[in-house]
Amino acid sequence: MTASVKMAGCLLYGERTVIKKIFHLILVAMLASTAMAQDVSVRPDHPDEYVVVKGDTLWDISGMFLEHPWQWPAIWHANPQIENPHLIYPGDRVSLVYIDGRPRLVVNGDKKTVRLSPDIRKLPREAIPPIEWDAIKDFVTNARVLNPGSFGDLPYVVANENDRHLATRKDLTYVRGIDGRIGEEFAIVRMRHIYYDDNGEMKRGKHHRYATHLRMEDEYPDNIWDATLSWRRKNPPVLGYEFWDIAVGRLVKEGDPAIFEIQSGRTEVKPGDFILPIDDYEQPPQLIPHAMNTVPDGMEVIALTQARYGAGHYQIIAISAGSNQGVEVGHVFSAFRPGKRIQDEVKYPTGSFADQTSFSKDKVTLPEQFSAHILVFRVFDEVSYALIMNGERPVRERDVLRHPDETL
């Protein structure tokens, strides 16, 4: 049995069907009919028309015409001259018109249909993407979440050749627990976070065995017990293990340990890294943004992948919900910063008689503040990854998620 078969059970939360074909008009129509039940706000300063240029995205173009760019499926008009209204190209003209009193975005609305004879070869054109995939392609193919129970039996790097702490391309590294064929290639991965359930709230931490210089609040509490601190209780339930691919290794000699030759990598390999089959996930060719009918309570931002204190435009975040909660690729949410609970120093100054005699009115919780719209691009069972699209302030951990129509 090869390692690919042996470790299939420890792969991603559930199998994800790879989208291999462009969405057809029937799917577009279904999404549009749902979205049309919502109010679509047109920008008062929208242009009469816009000529598409290389580097544009559907989100950016829709943002020129709409207050909420994510609503573009609601108003793209199924122009009979265009096979798929979501495929537009540099040089196409996008304009906003009203049909039966409703706004519609039309592509090449008055352009004559040109039929080519069979002996004329069409030159391929590259449609503009829904979002800028280059901003996330490395993350999409290098991050994954494994389900609980799969972590303990993973093959791992026990040492590098010549006792080196770090190894890189063409170096040898030694792996225990591997079952594979000579010449077979594997992903060398590194644990980044453990997502766990802390009394009904998802939190993340690093394992003290696989990270250094941890602060107490950053560590997964599997070896600390303090009965007065519930968040430090020992061994809370794990919801998922996040791993990042760091290198590709080829099995060159079987044994215990087996010998791997590092073929390529984003960073150096060190003892304690793990081995997984190479991820064959492919990004969908089209992302159709849409909203959940009802956003479950408790969904929030749980990790910033490219920042520590605040993430901005086109940076990636993790959210505390996945397919088990109904999250899908293409879902859009509004992230809100929770309001602070403060002392009312106007009517109940700290230490005053009014303060001392008030049981609750001396405190007030400020309203939530809209941070940004986020777009989900990869989904696991309990965790999803999203891209920050547009907003008014940086997104932070513990920002709560609302319906994308909400911005106040």
Q: How much is the mean pLDDT over the chain?
A: 79
- Give the residue from 225, 235, 247, 253 showing the smallest Cα distance to 197: 235
Using an 8 Å Cβ cutoff, are 171 and 160 in contact?
yes
- Residue type present at position 225: W
Would you state the structure tokens that stand for residue 172, as one six-digit string? Answer: 């040898």
Cα 87 to Cα 24: distance, rounded to the nearest angstrom: 11
Taking phi first (over 0 means left), then psi (-120 to 50 degrees means alpha), and beta for anything else, what does residue 347 get? alpha
Segment (H or E) for 187: strand 185-198
Cα 58 to Cα 65: distance, rounded to the nearest angstrom: 11
CB-side neighbour CA atoms (13 Å) of 304? 17
Cα 360 to Cα 6: distance, rounded to the nearest angstrom: 59
Least confident of 15-24, 202-211, 263-272, 326-335: 15-24
- What are 161-217's pLDDT values in tens digits? 998 889 999 999 999 999 999 999 999 999 888 999 888 889 888 877 776 666 666
- Give the residue from 382, 375, 380, 379 showing the smallest Cα distance to 401: 375
Cα 234 to Cα 230: distance, rounded to the nearest angstrom: 9
What pLDDT, on the 0 to 100 scale, is given for residue 213? 61
Distances (CA, A) of 33 to 25, 75, 96, 101, 379: 12, 10, 18, 16, 24
For the chain, domain boundaries:
3-11+147-276, 36-107, 301-402
Residues 6+ apart with CB under 8 A from 320: 195, 202, 298, 299, 300, 301, 302, 382, 383
Look at domain 36-107 and name its CATH class: alpha beta
Residue 345: pLDDT band by 50, 70, 90 thresholds?
confident
Q: Strands 369-379, 332-337: parallel, antiparallel or unpaired by DSSP? A: antiparallel
- Residue type present at position 35: A
Rounded to two decimals, the pTM is: 0.76
The CATH fold assigned to 301-402 is Thrombin, subunit H (2.40.10)
Would you state the structure tokens that stand for residue 120, as one six-digit string? Answer: 């004329």
Between 28 and 239, name the one with better pLDDT. Answer: 239
- Give the residue from 249, 274, 262 showing the smallest Cα distance to 189: 274
Would you state the structure tokens that stand for residue 38, as one six-digit string? Answer: 């919502």
Cα 285 to Cα 124: distance, rounded to the nearest angstrom: 16
Cis bond before residue 47 (omega within 30° of 0): no
Residues 6+ apart with CB under 8 A from 308: none
Would you state the structure tokens that stand for residue 43, as one six-digit string? Answer: 């920008």
Longest dimension (CA), the chain: 92
- What are 381-397's pLDDT values in tens digits? 999 999 998 878 999 99
- What are 53-86's pLDDT values in tens digits? 888 888 888 888 888 888 877 777 654 444 555 5
The DSSP 8-state label assigned to residue 219 in this structure reads: B
301-402 matches 36-107 in CATH topology: no
What pLDDT, on the 0 to 100 scale, is given for residue 115? 41
Would you state the structure tokens that stand for residue 164, as one six-digit string? Answer: 């080196």
What pLDDT, on the 0 to 100 scale, is given for residue 390? 83
Cα 188 to Cα 127: distance, rounded to the nearest angstrom: 34
What pLDDT, on the 0 to 100 scale, is given for residue 22? 32
Using an 8 Å Cβ cutoff, are 52 and 92 in contact?
yes
Cα 50 to Cα 105: distance, rounded to the nearest angstrom: 11
